[in-house]
Structure 1
Amino acid sequence: MPNPSRRSETSRQAILNTALDLVADIGYPKVAIEMIASTAGVGKQTIYRWWPSKGALLFDAFLTLAGTPDGELAALPDTGDLAADLKLVLNATVEDLDNPRYRQTMRALHTEIVHDPALAADYHKRLDGPMREVKKDRLRAAQQAGQISKDADLDVAVDLIFGPILNRWLQQTGPLTPEYVDTLVDTVLCGLQPREAAAPAV
């Protein structure tokens, strides 16, 4: 006897993969729910039973693409060399952003987030918020090791380190090269270094 839950999961994965393929092939604006349903071999109501909107479907497809469908995020590397670890992570991020399948999905997702408050809240709850905590954990370890100032605001530090990559990519204001990543990390960490104790007054 066929297993209904297995059949449902197979259909769900087919829908997610189809959405990713169509977005990469023809662009997000041209992709309709009806097109995804037809290509995946399911009914339109099947999609709406699982996702309230095309943006919500795209977000789940993105999580599948990123390898975090269950929200499990790996810790950032910690070799003891903060600069090297951050450069490794940022260069891997740039490589992902250069992937056509990833690039189209990310751009579409960010567009939908701007216009859909419910999707924005879900994105923050399931991905952006947890990912920020993972990044702060790595910086907190660097604080404890004396590599960055103990009074540094870690939320601001995360914005300074990771924000420029996304902004440059979204706005296409310049190339994302390993040299840019090196300069970015070195510049930000220079500003986050522990301050030397003030010399005693004479």
Structure 2
Amino acid sequence: MPASPRTRSGPRRDEAARLAVLHAADDLLAEQGFGALTVEAIARRAGVAKQTIYRWWPSKVDILLDTLIEDSTKKLPVPTEHPTADSIRGYLRGFARFVGEDPAGAVLLALLAEAQHDPATAARFHERYLDPRRAQERDMLTAGVQAGEISLRLDPDTTIDALLGPIVYRALRGASIPVDLLDTLTDDLLDSG
């Protein structure tokens, strides 16, 4: 997923150090939660200097956003080639696994929660992740409609909310996400063309 460009305040990053920081942040978030996560702990776990992190990222939120963008791109790509009801159903299943089982999904949930309390986090989260991902999901639905594969009962944005909202809510509650829920959402909101 293309991320919004972000100005960097330091020299070009060493790729191994960058990945070590992202993995450390991911692991520590899963172990300790957002509130206990610190740049100092990330630096220790990654084996880099704290100043190096601050040169590359202004805050732990920015580290987590980079982690989320990278993990989502690899583990949860939005279907772009000829979307069908089945490929969208597959995307929903992948999204449910991502937020319900994958440590990377914990980053998404933590940022969602933090964005409710911190307007700056909310703004960065929308700009760098939520808005670009929403555009990809909207394009997926629009392409499916244009190809005659699906028709929508609601407008694309409301459909996205209705498909993903119950999954996020169950994940936030720590509840399992049953496959029949995903099938019902898909069957009720997307008519096969």
User: What is the TM-score with the length of structure 1 in the denominator?
Assistant: 0.75
Task: Specify the alignment match of 1:182 in structure 2.
Answer: 183
Task: Specify the alignment match of 1:89 in structure 2.
Answer: 91
Residues 49 and 97 of structure 1: CA distance in aligned 2, closer, same or farther (over 3 Å): same
1:95-119 deviation digits (Å, cap 9, x = unpaired): 2223342243222222222223233
Contact 2:89 2:183 (8 Å CA) reproduced: yes
Residue 121 (str. 1) matches residue 127 (str. 2): no
Residue 148 (str. 1) matches residue 139 (str. 2): no
Distance 2:173 2:88 in 1: 22
Task: Specify the alignment match of 1:67 in structure 2.
Answer: 73
Deviation at residue 48 of structure 1 after TM alignment: 1.6
Distance 1:14 1:145 in 2: 42
Aligned mate of 1:45, from 43, 51, 67: 51
Contact 2:154 2:189 (8 Å CA) reproduced: no
Distance 1:169 1:97 in 2: 6
Distance 2:135 2:104 in 1: 23
Task: Specify the alignment match of 1:136 in structure 2.
Answer: 138
Q: Which amino acid aligns with 2:43?
A: A
Q: Over the residues paired in the alignment, what is the CA RMSD in angstroms?
A: 2.8
1:1-48 deviation digits (Å, cap 9, x = unpaired): xxx846x33222221111112222333332221111122222222222
The structure number with the bigger radius of gyration is: 1
Deviation at residue 79 of structure 1 after TM alignment: 5.0
Identity of matched residues, %: 36
Q: Alignment length, in residue pairs?
A: 181
User: What is the TM-score with the length of structure 2 in the denominator?
Assistant: 0.78
5+ long unaligned stretches in structure 2 = 1-10
